[in-house]
Structure 1
Amino acid sequence: MIDLCNCVRLKMHIPSVHFLSILLMIADGFTVKGPSGPLVVPLGGSVLLPCSVDSLSSLEDLEVEWKKSDSQTLIHLYQDGDIRPEVQHEDYHDRAHFFTENIKHGNFSLLMKNVTVQDEGQYTCTVHSGQESGETVVEIKDVEFLMVSGSDELISVYVGKNVTLNCSVDSHIPPEHIKEVSWKKRVENEYITVLLYQNKETLLDSSDERYRDRVEFFSDEIHRGNFSLRLKRVRTEDKGLYMCQVFAGHLSENTTVILEQLGFSALHIMVLILCIAACGCAVIICCLIYCTSQNTEKPVKTLGYLYVFLPNIIMFVAFVLWGVTEGFLYETILCCALCLLRPLMLIYVAPYSEKASGLTVLTELVMFTVVYFSVLFRHTWETVVHFATFDKAVVIVVFGLVLLLCAIAVVLWTCEVEKGAAFILFFLPTLQFTLLFFTFGSASRAGFFVIVLFPMFFFLTWSCLFDIEGGKKSCVNLLNITSWLIFMLIMNAVIAYFYVTSMENEKDVAGWTCTAVFLQVLWMIAMYIGLLEDLEVPYRTFLYVFGSVGVVFIMAVALMTELILKTVNGDRALGDLRVIVYPSEGVFTFTVLIFIMFKPWITSCLQCRQNVQRPADTSANTQQQNQEHQTAVEDHELESLSPASEVTREQPES
């Protein structure tokens, strides 16, 4: 409708423009030139209204007048050799600029700034010089405007709810002619695409993976210029600044919306409650076990199993809810798996266990290996799906070998062939590296080193383990154990290095590295227990409390801190909870391994300390006994000197 009106108006004014031009050409005086046609101006921009003459005989008595034709509003006046701003209409103050330096060249053009919609229409430039005069008409046909408006207030929403971010387009351009509308979110120093509308289509695949399947336009409102964004299932990382940018022809405009305050959702509150409950259960049951330790053995065992499983099951549920609301897939699966499997290690070190059974440690290793390799296989498959058939086949074969070796190891250990099971488990690190290098495309030389040379170095350490006599204190044992431990620590450092270098483009490289290192520590203790029989776990009470209370506290506090900071700041503090959960469990597992390996020497050191304290205690007891004896003798002498004693002594003589 607007274009039709403009066309009609143009047809009405064009004949008058040509008629005036013809009159000026045949009239006495000079010819005033204007533009060849109507002008189109962007809203808020600047436009030059042309007005000039070919020649000017004299500058004396020169007068140039610019008026708006329909209202005869005076826009600018040059008179008596100077401009006259006092007679200028107030709407054009500081908006109409006259080039006085070009007057001598016959140029009387006017520069109009900050053009508004009301500036549409015809403008007349009249030039008087002595007895000569002339004029030209300039028309601003259209003022192209593009106005984008959003929300002036900060938006608040509860996590898990839906929210609408407003973006309305006001323009003379029909919505179907708008080329592009993009919603972007500022993350650190860059903008990521939230949703894109282009060429009359909504491009869902262009959205960042954090917003896919959670954002949409209101399709029924687009024809009205409503490009508001609907954000579903709000997360804490959604907090921040959003920009709606609109492109229409050569025009572009944007508006910003700030999602500021995010309240705790019901699931968030449940996560906090579960973390507090896990810590409370660990402390309360620990106190109950201590108080009932003097009673029969059965209640202690019952409380002991409850002590091992209940806090970890609660943390498992907390991590599941965390994964539903905030966490990502690999973090959630691996943290949940650890919560379910770590009670096996706690049972191994439990004080009420008559004999530590290495089968529990092997079971934890096998089950965690299956979970870890399954997650890594899924991550690998996303990468190699576009690779050659050979690479896909290698990945499938490696994953199949892992499952097969784990099954064989369990069978051998159940049949009490612990050394055979340990030999089968020996190949797990190599398979892990093979899958790693196929996943992240590491260099071929590094792959050759890992697949070929890495197992050879591991075989060299077996001589150290086979020469160890379990539980015996000797220099040879100490040398072999120390050598094997140092080599294992070096190889774990190599594993961490290869993970960091191979996954440098991955955002969760720290989480993967911590998980891999923990798997190696778990593998070390399973290998040591499998090769050496009849091992005893010393200081079980300390290890039991450390693993049952300390590690649970660390996991619960880390999860609560991450949840609270993420809700307040909108960004995760740690980025991946595996960097806290797995190192804490790794320290506990490694402590168990150290206590088992160096038990004779640790026990000997403690006995020496007790022997040093014992002579001092003995001398103190002897001195106290001597004092008591001397006191008794003095009392006896006093009694012998009393009158009652003398009478008693004289009675036999009488």
Structure 2
Amino acid sequence: MDLLMFIFLAVFPVISDGLIVHSRSGPLFASLGSSVVLPCYVNELLLMKDLRVEWRRTDSETLVHLYQDGESRPEEQHKDYHHRAHFFTDQIQHGNFSLRLDNLRAEDEGRYTCRVYSQQDSGETVVQVKDVERLLVSGSEKSISVSVGEDVTLNCSVDSHIKPEHIEEVSWRKTDGDEDILVLLFQNNKTLQDSSDEQYRDRAEFFTAEIPKGNFSLRLKSVRTEDKGVYMCQVFAGGLSANATVELEQLGFSILHTMALILCITASGSTLLLCFIIHCKSPNKALSDSAVKKRIRTLGYLHVFLPNIMMSVAFVFWGVTEGFLYETVSCCALYILRPLMLLYVAPYLEKIITKALLRGTPEAI
């Protein structure tokens, strides 16, 4: 019965006390974030004195807007419609009481009643706003693989019909496991770089020229191993929120990583090789003591300097790739100080080598 009554009200004008109020015969369809006009008019001229026009939600009787005493009364509106519902004030004297509803939200879907009161008569009509589009956010369906040190793009697109000024907030967060790290934030039509977590500051950015098209993809520069995980693009618009996730996985080795690994292996190999050569050369009696001492001294210097220099360079490559400045400086300083300490004790090497030759073993070197 209620359904039949609504169809009757939506399709035909309502006659109440002789005043015929017209509206649209069918429901209105609109996009989220757009504007829609709810029609309401009469075909006769009404006296402006004591004219009162109310727009209310049919289901809850919430006051959407009010025209009274010759002017709009926005102070009477429900707070959800402040600055969003407007009369065409200059058309009211001609019998046009239509209402424009801006920045449409999902909760605006439903029936609206336009009631007109005049000195002579009163009447009303019902308008339905139907199928307001929901907020849709799309990302990458497949996980993304990238080499450490390279740049990567994490896709995030918002419905193209929603204007950027209607989007309240877009945030990129790393939500892997128990983590909830803010990567980048777009709010009030601005990108807030300073709000990013320290490990992503100056490495994460939007494609600014693409934002008007609803493209909020994230460019992450100089990817690190700890960047691996799940990232969420969350969008707030028109009182709704939606999100899309992107997984960054299979972080491969970059050229710098490979070079650092080769240097570490080479440093270890050179240490073992030099130890073996020193061991073989020390008991060689075919050479004079001075020649033996000279060779052992040279090999000893190589044994201390060469692996440490290789490890220092390896840590420089690792630091450039991973971005760990303090750890890189500390490790490099350690490997540089070790050979410097050798130079400090160099005056005592002569005695150590002499004792080693007398014993015929290289352990003291």
Residues 1:314 and 2:303 are matched in the alignment: no
Moved more, 321-330 or 283-292: 321-330
Corresponding residue for 2:75? none
CA RMSD of aligned residues (A): 3.8
Report % sequence identity. 63
> 2:294 aligns to what?
298
Alignment of 1:170-569 (within 5 A): 170=159, 172-186=161-175, 188-295=177-284, 296-346=292-342, 353-355=349-351, 542=363
SS state at 2:202 partner: coil
Whether the aligned pair in 2 keeps the contact of 1:40 and 1:141 (CA below 8 Å) is: yes
Higher-helix-fraction structure: 1
Q: What SS does the corresponding residue of 1:273 show, helix, strand or coil?
A: helix
**Corresponding residue of 2:14:** 21
Give the alignment's TM-score, normalised by structure 2. 0.61
> How many Å apart are 1:251 and its aligned residue?
1.1
Q: Which structure's CA Rg is the greater one?
A: 1
C-alpha deviations, 1:533-584, integer Å up to 9, x for none? xxxxxxx95575xxxxxxxxxxxxxxxxxxxxxxxxxxxxxxxxxxxxxxxx
Which secondary structure state, in structure 2, belongs to the residue aligned with residue 213 of structure 1? coil
Deviation by residue 1:24-57 (Cα, 9 ceiling, x = unmatched): x67xxxxxxxxxx9899989xxxx9849xxxxxx
Tell me the CA shift for residue 198 of structure 1. 1.0
- Count of residues in Structure 1 that have an aligned counterpart in Structure 2: 256
Aligned AA (1:154): S
The amino acid across from 1:287 in the alignment is: F
Q: 1:316, CA displacement in angstroms?
A: 0.7
Separation (CA, whole Å) in 1 of partners of 2:138 and 2:31? 21
Q: What amino acid sits opposite 2:313 in the alignment?
A: V
CA drift at 1:346: 5.0
Structure 1 CA distance for aligned equivalents of residues 323 and 165 of structure 2:
39
Structure showing greater relative contact order (alpha-carbon pairs closer than 8 Å, 6 or more residues apart): 2
Alignment partners' CA distance in 1, 2:164 and 2:231: 21
Distance 1:259 1:337 in 2: 34
Contact 1:49–1:138 (CA under 8 A) maintained in structure 2: no
- Provide the secondary structure at the position in 2 that maps to 1:353: helix
What is the alpha-carbon distance in structure 1 between the residues aligned to residue 263 and residue 180 of structure 2?
36
Match of 2:128 in 1: 139
> Secondary structure at the residue paired with 2:350?
coil
Which residue is 2:139 aligned to?
A: 150
Residue pair 1:146, 1:172 contacting (<8 A) in 2 also: no
Residues 205, 212 of structure 1: 8 Å contact kept: yes
Determine if contact 2:32/2:162 at 8 Å carries over to the other structure.
no
Structure-1-length-normalised TM-score: 0.35
* Offset, 1:327: 4.9
Query: Partner letter of residue 336 of structure 1?
Result: C
Using the TM superposition, give the Cα deviation of residue 343 of structure 1 relative to its aligned residue in structure 2, in angstroms.
Answer: 2.3
In the TM superposition, residue 21 of structure 1 has moved relative to its aligned partner by 2.5
User: 1:335 and 1:229, CA in 2 relative to 1: closer, same or farther beyond 3 A?
Assistant: same
Write the distance in 1 (CA, Å) between the matches of 2:323 and 2:111: 63
SS of the equivalent of 2:132 reads strand
What displacement does 1:141 show?
Answer: 4.9
Q: Distance in 1 between matches of 2:137 and 2:58?
A: 28
In structure 1, distance between residues paired with 2:31 and 2:58: 11
Question: Per-residue deviation at 1:354?
Answer: 2.2
Question: What SS does the aligned partner of 1:140 have?
Answer: strand
Alpha-carbon offset, residue 233 of structure 1: 1.2
C-alpha change, 1:217 and 1:254, in structure 2 (3 Å) is same
Contact 1:186 1:241 (C-alpha < 8 Å) held by counterparts? yes
**Does the aligned pair in 2 maintain the 1:149–1:167 contact within 8 Å?**
yes
Distance 1:338 1:203 in 2: 39
Matching residue's letter, 1:20: P
Residue 197 of structure 1: SS of its match in structure 2? strand
Measure, in 1, the Cα distance between the counterparts of 2:14 and 2:144. Answer: 58
* Aligned-partner SS, 2:185: strand
Counterpart Cα distance in 1 of 2:231 and 2:127: 42
Shift of 1:349: 7.6
* Amino acid aligned to 1:280: G
Contact 2:228–2:248 (8 Å) recurs in 1: yes
Letter in 2 for 1:343: P
**Pair 256,151 (structure 1): closer, same or farther in 2 beyond 3 Å:** same
Structure 1 residues 89-137: Cα deviation after superposition (integer angstroms, max 9, x where no partner)? xxxxxxxxxxxxxxxxxxxxxxxxxxxx9xx8989xxxxxxxxxxxx85
Structure 2: segments with no counterpart, 5+ residues: 1-8, 19-26, 34-56, 61-105, 113-124, 285-291, 353-360
Q: Judge conservation of contact 2:149–2:322 (CA < 8 Å) in 1.
A: no
TM-superposed deviation, 1:152: 0.5
For residues 304 and 330 of structure 1, the distance between their equivalents in structure 2, rounded to whole angstroms, comes to 31
Cα deviations across residues 323-350 of structure 1 (Å, max 9, x unaligned)? 1111512211111011011124456788
SS at match of 2:304: helix
Relative to structure 1, is the Cα distance of residues 292 and 541 closer, same or farther in structure 2, using a 3 angstrom cutoff? closer
The alpha-carbon deviation at position 203 of structure 1 amounts to 1.0
Q: Distance in 1 between matches of 2:217 and 2:311?
A: 39
- The answer to whether the 8 Å contact 1:178/1:247 transfers is yes
Work out whether residues 50 and 138 of structure 1, in 8 Å CA contact, stay in contact via their aligned partners in 2: no
Distance in 1, matches of 2:263 and 2:232, equals 37
Amino acid across the alignment from 2:15 = I
CA distance in 2, matches of 1:321, 1:355: 39
Contact 2:279-2:362 within 8 A present in 1 as well: no
Asked whether the equivalents of residues 185 and 193 of structure 1 are also in contact (C-alpha less than 8 Å), the reply is: yes
Corresponding residue for 2:76?
none
Residue 145 of structure 1 deviates from its aligned partner by 2.1
**1:278 offset after TM fit, Å?**
0.3
Higher percent of residues as strand: 2
Q: List per-residue Cα deviations over 1:52-88 (Å, max 9, x = no partner).
A: xxxxxxxxxxxxxxxxxxxxxxxxxxxxxxxxxxxxx
Task: Output one character per residue of 1:632-651: Cα deviation in whole Å (capped at 9) or x when no partner.
Answer: xxxxxxxxxxxxxxxxxxxx
